[in-house]
Structure 1
Amino acid sequence: MRISTRRWAAVGTAALLATATLTACSSGSGGGNSDSKTLTVWHYESDDSAMGQAWNKAIEIFKTEHPGVKVDVEHQTFEQIQKNAKIVLTGKDVPDVMEYNKGNATAGQLASQGLLTSLTDVAKAKGWDKEVSGSLQTTAKYDENGLMGSGDWYGVPNYGEFVGMYLNKDLFAKYGIAVPTTFDEFEAALATFKTNGVTPLAEAGAEYPLGQLWYELVLHYGDRSLVDNYQLFKSDVDWQGDAMTKATEKLDEWVKKGYIASDAAGLTAEDMGVSFINGTFPIMVSGSWWFGRLQEQVKFDWAQTLFPGNTLHPGSSGNIWVVPTNAKSKTLAEDFIDITLRPEVQNVLGEKGGLPVAGDTSKITDPKTAELTQNFADIVKDDGLAFYPDWPVAGFYDVIVSQLQSLVNQSKSPAEVLDGLKGAYESGKTDLLGS
């Protein structure tokens, strides 16, 4: 897999120097867009993940159906796109279709700034609004302020995702620990591992994983009204209230007890995943996007479960395909998106544990994949999707990472961390809502 770090640097520099104004945001594939003979696709899925295998299938189909078109696939990293998309997409050297993170602070921000093409007309014409229905549309639509859930289509999700737990069952068996089904049992398991000299939680403070563990704890102590206030601004968030305080203090307690390694603050998600795959840690709290890779690489007995005792879980429809306003081949991009929703691609997702939105679940025969899919189905049935902690406001991802690194380093107290989060959240909320 080629990671185009140098391309990001070059394109970002060119974008910063550009003086041309953005073209008007088009609606659908019309607007006189004259496609080139190249389709440029950017995504950040590894080739052995469920999504990576599905996208490769979609590219294969696209090439067959568009024999005169060159397909240029560039693998980025999540961090590169997260940090640089706004700068890159103001230039002219942009992808035609790009995988992007959904939510107010990411896709919503780009949409409100005119950097993404409205897909409302093509969604109706191609039937995407029927295939991607109900709550799965929440992350596809954004209003003029960039708030998700209403307005035009600016992205198309074609899989689901959620955060749960991956367990090394061999290590659980070695120390005589039962798979926990309640929060108390979970904490008891953490304590037993530590007593036996094993750091129980694989973690990464330099990227998203630690923030998702913190949010699991917030959801453990919170409820749906807190999610609505936090994510959709239905009311004010009490940052020093019961849920936020208990969650942050609990994470601090786990750090002090050594349930999280002291060097976790500087580790990446890849570091975390590799350490779990290698059998170093018994527990990894992270997303369904790891499933395909674990299926391919893990050599021990393992399982995927929901976070014990929670009725709400981080998760949503998956990342979305977006078409930049300055894309040169918008019609080709729309054709590619449409292919990703076809049964032959969706069924690859399902077979590999990718939680398809339009696949045939009867095709799933692998027990672990069926377990993962059932866990997601249970969350959706119970209205348990609570989105992600960094979604509400622009730039909040970096703030969460920084503040929780301070907690792991023990340079800030839980109250100080919450104050830091509150300041950035409230400022971003004001920027979004204008009040």
Structure 2
Amino acid sequence: MRKLRGAAALAAAVLVLTACGSGGTESPPTQGNQPRVLKLWHYESKDSAMAKAWAEAIKKFEASHPNVTVKFEEKGFEQIQKTASMVLNSDEAPDIMEYNKGNATAGLLSKQGLLTNLTDEATKRGWDKLLPGGLQTTAKYDDRGVMGAGNWYGVPNYGEFVMVYYNKDLFDKHKVKVPTTFEEFTAGLDTFVKAGVTPIANAGAEYPAQQILYQLALTKAQKPWLDAFQSYKGKVDFHGPEFTYGVETFADWVKKGYIAKNSAGLKAEDMGVSFMNGKFPIMISGSWWYGRVASTIKDFQWGHFLFPGATMSPGSSGNLWVVPENSKNKDLAYDFIDITMSKEIQNILGNSGGVPVAADPAAITDAKSKELIESFNKLTTADGLAFYPDWPAPGYYDVLVAGVQELINGSKAPSAVLDEIAKPYEDNLADIGN
């Protein structure tokens, strides 16, 4: 998320809390017919592929656990991101919840002792076999809260990546072809602008704008740069060619009219709805929209393509199921994760416009879903998942939101924005001893 999709303000404002002394304990097996409740939080919209699959998982779970009721509470993405440390350090913690992956989010909570170590369960239940290689990167965190090694603190059950959604009818109307190079892409954007059409739907107040900036930087990036930025395996020069190109090109896109100047205050929902209503020919965003786009758009033809001119795109395994250390029903939480990893639920996810990790390929019959999975496989085969720009440091999401808003408003020069986003990143490196 994504989804996508947010954190707290700056590292200095992040509340570093420790878990309650005793933490949560694993519930004993049900005694007799005593009813139990599994408290579950997630933030997927009801029309998304994930929400559809998980709604079925809840039904399947309750059918196989007759004395258990699932109490599902829908939370906003931003709401969970900004309050997670405080809520999970209280007796209000859910038993299981969806949470964003990466160092600044799941990594931070694992370091604070707020998440349950799932390593034994991952081995016992075979999650490690269903999530091979790179799909485990976001599930594991070391003592510093850095992803890719250490213990399991979350389980992803889908994949995600950023792509270019396009309105085929508007492309045809303005005689714009699907681009295969970056030059063809910008030529198409110029064609729309000359016709008085702002081509790219955007949202500066949440994750979409920063993901566009990051995608632009990735067109100039190689793997060593990505490893340095995301995993601290080397020094990142924020005034180097990658981020310099990203901020300067993003600012230039605003000046050229590719991105609307009034998009600084818009949220992701505003962006998605405007594209689905046919107001923009292009939306650069994640696969988490795919199922909703497929079920919502009735008045025009649409499609998608990978960002032209880049070998890497923002993306990863999906958001995580995490089990708070204060969960009162850990055994039930593990059972629910098991069900979401089953072929039945994974197939529903795949046929609803999601990117499953453990589906039966022959069971994916929806044509649009097949196109999506093909693009994901193309990206993963090329080792092209570049994670997300807000992952490396706690509070970095809001730093990047502020930075792209300044670029959209023209209130700061690109070089000044680079200075602004460099400092908290470097402060975090100092904090973790890198």
> Can you give the 5+ residue segments of structure 2 that lack an aligned partner in the other structure?
1-14
Whole-angstrom distance in 2 between the partners of 1:316 and 1:77: 21
TM score, norm. by length of structure 1: 0.93
Which range moved further: 199-208 or 351-360?
Answer: 351-360
Deviation at 1:22, TM superposition (A): 3.7
SS in 2 for 1:209: helix
Whichever residue aligns with residue 113 of structure 1, its letter is Q
| 8 A contact 1:25–1:115 mirrored in 2 | no
Whole-angstrom distance in 2 between the partners of 1:413 and 1:32: 60
SS in 2 for 1:263: helix
Change (3 A) 1:110 1:36: farther
RMSD: 1.9
Change (3 A) 1:258 1:60: same
Whole-angstrom distance in 1 between the partners of 2:242 and 2:143: 32
| 8 A contact 2:20–2:90 mirrored in 1 | no
Whichever residue aligns with residue 129 of structure 2, its letter is K
| 8 A contact 1:350–1:360 mirrored in 2 | no
Match of 2:372 in 1: 372
Deviations 1:196-246 (A, max 9, x none): 000000000000000100010010011111100100000010110111111
Deviation at 1:32, TM superposition (A): 9.9
SS in 2 for 1:336: helix
SS in 2 for 1:80: helix
Match of 1:344 in 2: 344
Match of 1:358 in 2: 358
Whole-angstrom distance in 2 between the partners of 1:356 and 1:37: 30
Match of 1:419 in 2: 419
SS in 1 for 2:60: helix
Deviations 1:146-189 (A, max 9, x none): 00011110000000000011000100000111111110011001
| 8 A contact 2:35–2:67 mirrored in 1 | no
**Aligned length in residues:** 416
**1:169 is aligned to 2:140:** no
Deviation at 1:365, TM superposition (A): 2.1
Mapping for residues 23-102 of structure 1, pairs under 5 Å: 23-24=22-23, 37-102=36-101
Runs of 4+ in 1 over 4 A off after TM superposition: 29-36
TM score, norm. by length of structure 2: 0.93
Whole-angstrom distance in 2 between the partners of 1:248 and 1:36: 55
Whichever residue aligns with residue 216 of structure 1, its letter is Q
Whole-angstrom distance in 2 between the partners of 1:414 and 1:333: 46
Whole-angstrom distance in 2 between the partners of 1:235 and 1:33: 51
Whole-angstrom distance in 1 between the partners of 2:28 and 2:139: 21
Change (3 A) 1:100 1:361: same
Deviation at 1:434, TM superposition (A): 2.3
| 8 A contact 2:27–2:329 mirrored in 1 | no
Match of 1:10 in 2: none
Mapping for residues 134-149 of structure 1, pairs under 5 Å: 134-149=133-148
Mapping for residues 68-217 of structure 1, pairs under 5 Å: 68-217=67-216
Change (3 A) 1:213 1:36: farther
SS in 2 for 1:178: coil
Whole-angstrom distance in 1 between the partners of 2:30 and 2:413: 54
Whole-angstrom distance in 2 between the partners of 1:218 and 1:20: 38
Deviations 1:310-363 (A, max 9, x none): 100100000000000011111001100010000100000111121111001222
Whole-angstrom distance in 2 between the partners of 1:25 and 1:328: 6
| 8 A contact 2:38–2:333 mirrored in 1 | yes
SS in 2 for 1:40: strand
> Can you give the 5+ residue segments of structure 1 that lack an aligned partner in the other structure?
1-15
